[in-house]
Amino acid sequence: METSRKKRKVLVDGPISPQFVADSIAKHQSQTGIGAHAIFLGQIRADQKEDGLVSGIEYTAYEEMANEAFYSIREAAFGKFELTCLHIYHSLGLVPVGEISLFVFVSSTHRRAAFEASEFIVEEIKANVPIFAKELVGAGGGFHWKENK
């Protein structure tokens, strides 16, 4: 097995479109050794806060550090699970409620590895990637810094 993989662009401007997700799936149809895909989509929800509803999240990051963290997570997932393919995309900038901000796409010959790797990757992202989320609240321009729980 390959020990080091090419670093891929993970951070994207704005929301991740449903068409991008669909295109990603379609591109893998020619890879006939794949038996399972696990897809995680992180969607912005309209949480109720004391001062109003969340209308979106504005993401910022230390991009170089974030890219290194994503690369480390990707390498760890390939080392821990029998995967054929793995893609991670995370938004920067404003993502309105209802839109996608995180897309994790894991492929394997069998479903168990895809499921387990997907959960591992999402938890590692939440715990270790320096991305900051400012929840925009109410009509008056208020905000809260989002904490991962």
Instruction: Domains for the chain: give ranges and CATH numbers.
Output: 11-43+62-131 (3.90.1170.40)
What count of Cα atoms within 13 Å lies in the side-chain half-sphere of residue 96? 1
Q: Decide: pTM greater than 0.75.
A: yes
> Locate tokens 């399972």: which residue?
36
- Token couple for 9: 């662009």
> Encoding tokens for residue 125?
């992202």
Q: Which residues contact 141 (CB under 8 A, 6 or more apart)?
A: none
Amino acid 1: pLDDT:
39
- Give the position of tokens 């901000």: 101
| Model confidence pLDDT, tens digit, residues 52-103 | 899 999 999 999 999 999 999 999 999 999 999 999 999 999 999 999 999 9
φ, ψ for residue 76, nearest 5 deg:
-65, -40
Cα gap 119→137, rounded to integer Å: 29
